[in-house]
Structure 1
Amino acid sequence: MSNKTIRVAAAQFHVGPDVEQNLATVLRMLDKAAEVQPDLVVLPEFCNHLSWYDNQEHCAEVSVTLDGDFMRAVAEKARSLGIYVVINCTVLREDGSVTGTSLLYSPEGELLADNDKQIYIGHENDFLKPAQEPGPVVDTPLGRIGLYACMDGVINEPPRTLGLRGAQILCNSYNSFASDEGSLHVPVRAPENRVFIIGANKVGPLVPEPLLVPVSEATGIPQKFLCGAGESQIVAPDGTVLVCASEDQEEIIYADIQPELADNKCRPDGTDVFASRRPELYAAIGADPATQPYPKWCGAESLTATVVDPLQGGRDGLRAAVSLAREAVAAGSLVVAVPPLLAAEVIAEDLPAAIDFSGEVIESLRQCCAADAVIVTALPLRCDDGQSRYCAVVVGESGILLAQGQVHPSARFAWSVPADGFESVELPFGRLAAVTSDDSIYPETFRLLAMSGVDTAVVPLEPLEAWELRTGLLERSAENRINLLAAAIGSPLGQGFATALQRDFTVLTPWKERPFDGLLSQPELYALQAGAQSLTVTLYPAAAENKEVSRNTDLVTNRPWKLCGAITAQ
């Protein structure tokens, strides 16, 4: 297969409580999809029955068997249309258990992949058995295909393992009311793994229609948020959303793609983002969370912080940054995030001169600090071991409090000797981490920080690609429940921003500060406007302790640690 173009599609529709009617809808939508002549069609999660059950017996009763009428009809439809089909259903297994399962059928009607969901959300845990092994990557004439479903893509590990095992196309069937699933979690999985994503969501009620009003009244969730949020989409390996469906209409979307493009894992500077991973440092991700207690949470209820943009680098930028930092600290900010003042290419041209300038930057910023206030930026340093490293530094009144060396090697910082892990610093307002640009693109980075109890992170950023500011860092904050300051000198790629964790978070618990707004995990986002030089926000370090998005679904400790072998393999 060489630069072969294929057509892929996602079908977005409503599924109700009548299994036979749902089968009719599935077959009708496959016929409708066939009109655009696709090679592959992806359907939403739980196509046989909405995810609402009276009890375990009811769940089993409305589930399908792999050799039953429902799946035979789907297989026959795939054969008659001559297309690959991905469908997700609840499947009754021979041992009596029920799984939420994505299935891939060939144009010959053959079942090629049977992939159980790894992470369930809320009440799904009461009825459905999680995966016992990683999902397969299937080599087909179209390309190498991997499957996952909904919550498995709200966290990074299931798609990551598929990408690391060679998948070029990831098919995500989801059943989501959450607006941030479509705007954030679905698209970010493409560029972080350099793969194509085909995501298919539902529209219409996700609970039985006669129960919409009483469920809304009992939970305080507006009726519109008891419906599928749509926005099915197809995303390219660079994070470009090729096509996106509406929020509430049944429809077919499609795009022509070249799966082989997903074999190129290089960033614009030539860094291979898979080859530069540090799996020897990721062992904790694949270890039992029960043996990994968090450090004592020490975050303050609130924290005033500022992101600045001096609009330029070098000494002129330093003068502007000093003025902005002094103003922010005087106004009460305890953390000030400053962008890198030297571009990567400038450092590479004359490393000794750049390191000399770093000393000037550190002393200038130190003089801006007062009491407990700190300033964070990124600089080249000569470290205590004599090695030169690109570092994200936390500067306080007494000097450098933390110098976090870049962990993952990159082409543009080829001179930087990789550091051997991530650290943080405990300050009066919480546990703070600082992350370099080229570490921030790896999902493992923020996962490790979250596991170590970090409540706030600062990324002094020199972005290479638009997705970093559009979805990448925002998603890192969301899936790990970490407050974030991203400081970047404004460019066509975007501006810096801040994320403040929502204190009302766990679904179906009492919310005091905001009505339920359809956001699953996205924090409040505050962005610097083009040309603006300062953004002051209130962060909530203490809110990082609560990572339970729904009952029995913790974003960090409920990760599928047993199935993370591809992430930790050396």
Structure 2
Amino acid sequence: MNNKTIRVAAAQFHVGTDVEENLGTVLRMLDQAAEVRPDLVVLPEFCNHLSWYDSQEHCAEVSVTLDGAFLQAVAEKARALGIHVVVNCTVRRDDGTITGSSLMYSPEGQLIADNTKQIYIGHENDFLESAREPGPVVDTPLGRIGLYACMDGVINEPPRTLALRGAELLCNSLNSFAGDEGSLHVPVRAPENHVFIVAANKVGPLVPEALLVPVSEATGIPQKFLCGAGESQVVAPDGTVLACASTDREEVVYADIQPGLANDKRRGDGTDIFASRRPELYQPIAADPATQSYPQWCGAESVAATVVDPLTHGRDGLRAAVSLVREAVVAGAQLVAVPPLLSAEAIAADLPAALDFSGEIVESLRQCCAGDGVVTTALPMRCDDGQLRYCAVVVGETGVLFCQGQVHPSERFAWSIPAVGFESLELPFGRIAAITSDDSIYPETFRLLALAGVDTAVVPLEPQEAWELRTGLLERSAENRINLLAAAISSPLGQGFATALQRDFTVMTPWKERPFDGLLSQPELYRLVAGTQSLAVTIHPAAAGNKEVSRNTDLVASRPWKLCGAITSQ
């Protein structure tokens, strides 16, 4: 393993409509970053000009060429400072097309990586050509580095493919107004892939300053949400944010990292999160969306749901869970999420006893159900094929209605025979999935559920790492537009929560129920308060049918399916 320590930096600043002035800002910020003696500096997206164009001709006019003055000045600055630099610009190519591309220059001023954006958002689709091949992973003296930009990190596939192809460090250039970029989309990509992330965003207006007021009035978007959201950051493979900038100031943040640590993909129980993937099941992710169709959406507009926390495992936990579930059902809950009542350690210590207790759990929860109401949890079971599996189950008044065995192998449930795939259950109020803890960490799991038309997922969770409750499951809900109930027994790693999809969603369309809040795709989030035992929420299954985050940008259908070979083959 490469144990070399390097210093990485992210520079955030404002970019306007004057290309020459913007070049001056870029060079000035590289000089400022050099004061902390970094080995690598990452700059924001669209450094040459605001992503705002009057016409295709205007876009071409303000774009740069690889051998033009703008990028040659950046290359020369990298050489003069003796550092690696990642800069993102709109690039006018030899064939006349224009791309939004991240470019990495070596300390010798050589262009060593050229990565074009795979997914554009909104009006960017009107002017820029997307990538035709996966981005490079470049071997450098600093480690193996991959590049991506903004919307490519709002979904999992572009960073995932880079990590699967060996990247230890991912550089993300952003041009984002969204508060959930810094709090969710940027940091989650580190722990889900066990890599380092360096992300640089902008501050200041993202539209021409003279248009701030009219654009705000025309769209109903407050002016503050037409500005870059900042929060440039460096994130470690466990999800720890090592450095983070402000939301509104020009600045440089940096951290010392060891890229080689990203080669260890093991979780706390020893499970290798890359070796345990199931690529043979992920084929739909790399299939043409034009050939795929969702089942008919069947979700209700609103459903009463409750997440409970008995605060303990075993029989004491079951007694508390039964009381909490009964209270929830009496209060009108149609879907109740209960955390696992047996820990992985307890199951492994005495599997026969755990199987017996599982029967008691099912019967006790069955007696709590009434009508269409159901309860979910996770427990060991002997399945219909005779195999022992750790399962997420849905229990109704007639017993077990649905049983989803764990699909990805893990060390702590080594006795569990992997299930053949993911299924869902159609209920009167929607199409739901129940997922075990050790399946929920894989972004491919929820992508498959989204493609299958699932509108609500429940995860009875026994977390191993803090990121699962902080960003991991929330990201699964956000990037797939799926309501989520995460039921976990309170621990130092966090508490359970629920997400409810907003019915007003697509940016720059009329919204009826809420003002624009600056979030790109994060749903409404409700967390259990530490020490409390019940969280009642209203979720919106029908809202899962709208996955268009902005015009011509669908969170699922716009995934770069042609470039997902690493996901389906490794």
Partner of 2:217: 217
Partner of 1:177: 177
State the shift of 1:60 in Å: 0.4
How far apart, in 1, do the equivalents of 2:291 and 2:398 lie? Answer: 36
Answer yes or no: is 1:229 the counterpart of 2:229: yes
Q: Deviations over 1:280-312 (max 9, x none)?
A: 000000000111100000000000000000111
Answer yes or no: is 1:114 the counterpart of 2:90: no
Partner of 2:246: 246
How far apart, in 2, do the equivalents of 1:2 and 1:219 lie? Answer: 50
Instruction: Assess if the C-alpha contact under 8 Å between 2:2 and 2:259 holds in 1.
Output: no
Paired amino acid for 2:517? D
How far apart, in 2, do the equivalents of 1:432 and 1:491 lie? Answer: 27
How far apart, in 2, do the equivalents of 1:362 and 1:52 lie? Answer: 57
How far apart, in 2, do the equivalents of 1:13 and 1:462 lie? Answer: 41
Partner of 2:19: 19
Q: Deviations over 1:68-108 (max 9, x none)?
A: 00010000000000000000000001111100000010000
Q: Deviations over 1:458-489 (max 9, x none)?
A: 00000000000000001110000000000000
Partner of 1:516: 516
How far apart, in 2, do the equivalents of 1:443 and 1:179 lie? Answer: 21
Partner of 2:160: 160
Partner of 1:379: 379
Partner of 1:195: 195
Paired amino acid for 2:170? L
Partner of 2:44: 44
Q: Secondary structure at the match of 1:300?
A: coil
Q: Secondary structure at the match of 1:453?
A: coil
Partner of 1:2: 2
Q: Secondary structure at the match of 2:166?
A: coil
Partner of 2:439: 439
How far apart, in 1, do the equivalents of 2:498 and 2:4 lie? Answer: 41
Partner of 2:267: 267
State the shift of 1:401 in Å: 1.0
Partner of 2:479: 479
Q: Deviations over 1:493-528 (max 9, x none)?
A: 000000000111000000111111100001111111
Partner of 1:528: 528
Paired amino acid for 2:542? A
Task: Return the TM-score normalized by structure 1.
Answer: 1.00
State the shift of 1:2 in Å: 3.0
Partner of 1:309: 309
Partner of 1:352: 352
How far apart, in 2, do the equivalents of 1:328 and 1:217 lie? Answer: 43
How far apart, in 1, do the equivalents of 2:350 and 2:516 lie? Answer: 53
Partner of 2:32: 32
Task: Return the TM-score normalized by structure 2.
Answer: 1.00
Q: Secondary structure at the match of 1:123?
A: helix
Q: Secondary structure at the match of 1:379?
A: strand
Q: Secondary structure at the match of 2:323?
A: helix
Paired amino acid for 1:227? C
State the shift of 1:418 in Å: 0.3
Unaligned runs of 5+ in 1: none
State the shift of 1:397 in Å: 1.0
How far apart, in 2, do the equivalents of 1:35 and 1:443 lie? Answer: 38
Paired amino acid for 1:447? R
Paired amino acid for 1:215? V
How far apart, in 2, do the equivalents of 1:352 and 1:271 lie? Answer: 24
State the shift of 1:23 in Å: 0.3
How far apart, in 2, do the equivalents of 1:456 and 1:385 lie? Answer: 27
Paired amino acid for 2:39? D
How far apart, in 2, do the equivalents of 1:533 and 1:430 lie? Answer: 25
What RMSD, in angstroms, separates the aligned Cα atoms of the two structures? Answer: 0.6
Moved over 4 A (4+): none
Partner of 2:506: 506
How far apart, in 1, do the equivalents of 2:343 and 2:32 lie? Answer: 51
Partner of 1:417: 417
Paired amino acid for 1:477? S
How far apart, in 1, do the equivalents of 2:534 and 2:395 lie? Answer: 19
Q: Deviations over 1:513-568 (max 9, x none)?
A: 11111000011111111110101000000000000000000000000000000000
Partner of 1:101: 101
Paired amino acid for 1:275? A
How far apart, in 2, do the equivalents of 1:304 and 1:463 lie? Answer: 25
State the shift of 1:248 in Å: 0.2
Paired amino acid for 1:420? V
How far apart, in 1, do the equivalents of 2:333 and 2:429 lie? Answer: 11
How far apart, in 2, do the equivalents of 1:311 and 1:418 lie? Answer: 29
Once the two structures are aligned, what percentage of the paired residues are identical?
Answer: 83
How far apart, in 1, do the equivalents of 2:382 and 2:2 lie? Answer: 46
How far apart, in 1, do the equivalents of 2:517 and 2:535 lie? Answer: 25
Q: Deviations over 1:248-281 (max 9, x none)?
A: 0000000000000000000011000000000000
How far apart, in 2, do the equivalents of 1:354 and 1:76 lie? Answer: 66
Instruction: Assess if the C-alpha contact under 8 Å between 2:178 and 2:520 holds in 1.
Output: yes
Q: Secondary structure at the match of 1:114?
A: strand
Paired amino acid for 1:331? A
Unaligned runs of 5+ in 2: none
Q: Deviations over 1:381-436 (max 9, x none)?
A: 01111110000000011111110000000000000000010000000000000000
Q: Deviations over 1:120-148 (max 9, x none)?
A: 00000000000000000000000000000
Paired amino acid for 1:418? P
Partner of 1:331: 331
Partner of 1:293: 293
Partner of 2:256: 256
Paired amino acid for 1:8? V
Q: Secondary structure at the match of 1:60?
A: helix
How far apart, in 2, do the equivalents of 1:241 and 1:143 lie? Answer: 20
Partner of 1:407: 407
Partner of 2:125: 125
How far apart, in 1, do the equivalents of 2:55 and 2:457 lie? Answer: 43
Q: Deviations over 1:333-375 (max 9, x none)?
A: 0000000000000000011110111001001111111000000
Paired amino acid for 1:408? H
Partner of 2:84: 84
Q: Deviations over 1:220-251 (max 9, x none)?
A: 11100000000000000000000100000000
How far apart, in 1, do the equivalents of 2:502 and 2:182 lie? Answer: 19
Q: Secondary structure at the match of 1:112?
A: strand
State the shift of 1:330 in Å: 1.1
